[in-house]
Structure 1
């Protein structure tokens, strides 16, 4: 991998994770000069990063205007959840058809990580892990296009919950994920789909009310925190920021 590609990938990953963990609220301005300074890259490379995230629906980058983290409308949010439900139903069927014992071990390990983050009070990490449970299922489905599309809609749901979501206990998400794993282990597609529909329905219901943007924060501090953690090979933990209003989880 070239040095240029490495910088672009690092910046993309840092921004993507900060958005998914709701450290960068919807509508946050992303000035090219500040991104370039924080990531040590030219404006040309910054625009490449922003274009990549725009293609994933995480950033709005209109011509001749400062890019921002995406701020989907309620109508767009409903379309995203409709698409996610269809994809996740098919993922359940494909995972059961390809089931291997290691799938169960991997998913159970992931749920334990979700539980650990919940107990530690690491809200942002809990948010990310909750979404990654679903993208792991997408990987196990064995269909590259479904994996790609599911990853995109899960990320977009993080934005929707940051913008519109109501508070929700992480206990519910962890317990629902455990139920899904149990149904997958049993090879019961109907039960797994029923549980998944209920789970996603509860997530969507938490995104029905309009909400205010999160409290003010330091963009530079967020970018530094995420880029330094990724560059050092460490898993990114909660950015130490002023507490925003409580948001929902996937």
Structure 2
């Protein structure tokens, strides 16, 4: 049975909103959109060929993840977290993600283990190719772990914190060994598979602490966002 026209239209709008959200998120984490850059709904909508309503939905999601700031009567702009914000974010992540691995130790199914290993393989490939999405993939590993707990509240908070810390790393991240985070992720998976709850928690704590110490202040000049968004939009099929 063919879905009603209104249902098709709703699905299309949701798909476009998701694509705009991913386009903006990728541009922010790549620092193509510098911290503090204004994000006018009309300019974004015109450049990406979507309505302001769709842009507004995407911006609301990004605001919920802490990647942008929406100020009354001033519009939205890319968030400008400080290094202290970063330390606070990672401190909370450390506690929540210890709970994640404590929950998962010895409970992963073969399919879930394969899912995690496949994701880490993708991280490895991205880092080897100096891919701009390596930070995003690394963060998504932690989101995936949280989702596997089947605790929706925990997954939601970890997802938000990962987005915020990904922005911190894109702004202040210090170059580090291309395989260090990947190897740390593999060690965490192995500890979970071995049902070693204590080791898994210890590894995650050390991992988050290591990420925190890989940050230092660095700048990035502002760029004209309407034109640069086009390339990101093409990747999302807009």
TM range (shorter): 0.7 to 0.9
1:26 and 1:162 in contact (8 A); partners too: no
Question: What is the distance in 2 between the residues matched to 1:197 and 1:4?
Answer: 40
User: Is the partner of 1:24 in helix, strand or coil?
Assistant: coil
Give deviations 1:167-218, integer Å, cap 9, x for gaps: 22221111111111111111101111111111110111122x3322x24444
Which of 104, 126, 130 lines up with 1:95 in the alignment?
Answer: 104
| Structure 1 residues 74-223: aligned runs within 5 Å | 74-122=83-131, 124-207=132-215, 209-212=216-219, 214-223=220-229
2:37 and 2:78 in contact (8 A); partners too: yes
Residues 1:34 and 2:43 are matched in the alignment? yes
Deviation, 1:27, is 2.1
Distance change >3 Å, CA 134–CA 203, structure 1 → 2 = same
Structure number with larger C-alpha Rg: 2
Deviation, 1:97, is 5.0
User: Is the partner of 1:169 in helix, strand or coil?
Assistant: coil
Q: Which residue of 2 aligns with 1:51?
A: 60
Question: What is the distance in 2 between the residues matched to 1:70 and 1:188?
Answer: 38
Give deviations 1:105-141, integer Å, cap 9, x for gaps: 111111111111122221x121111111111111111
Question: What is the distance in 1 between the residues matched to 2:29 and 2:106?
Answer: 30
**Which consecutive residues of structure 1, in runs of 5 or more, have no partner in the other structure?**
233-250
What is the TM-score normalised by the length of structure 1? 0.83
Which of 12, 18, 23 lines up with 2:27 in the alignment?
Answer: 18
Distance change >3 Å, CA 47–CA 27, structure 1 → 2 = same
Aligned pair count reads: 229
1:81 and 1:204 in contact (8 A); partners too: yes
Question: What is the distance in 1 between the residues matched to 2:30 and 2:140?
Answer: 11
Deviation, 1:98, is 2.9
Give deviations 1:1-43, integer Å, cap 9, x for gaps: 6133333222122212332344433222222222011222333
What is the TM-score normalised by the length of structure 2? 0.87
1:60 and 1:70 in contact (8 A); partners too: yes
Question: What is the distance in 1 between the residues matched to 2:197 and 2:229?
Answer: 42
User: Once structures 1 and 2 are overlaid, which stretch shifts more, 178-187 or 40-49?
Assistant: 40-49
Distance change >3 Å, CA 110–CA 49, structure 1 → 2 = closer
Distance change >3 Å, CA 4–CA 116, structure 1 → 2 = closer
User: Is the partner of 1:5 in helix, strand or coil?
Assistant: helix
Distance change >3 Å, CA 120–CA 45, structure 1 → 2 = closer
Question: What is the distance in 1 between the residues matched to 2:125 and 2:13?
Answer: 36
User: Is the partner of 1:129 in helix, strand or coil?
Assistant: helix
User: Is the partner of 1:231 in helix, strand or coil?
Assistant: coil
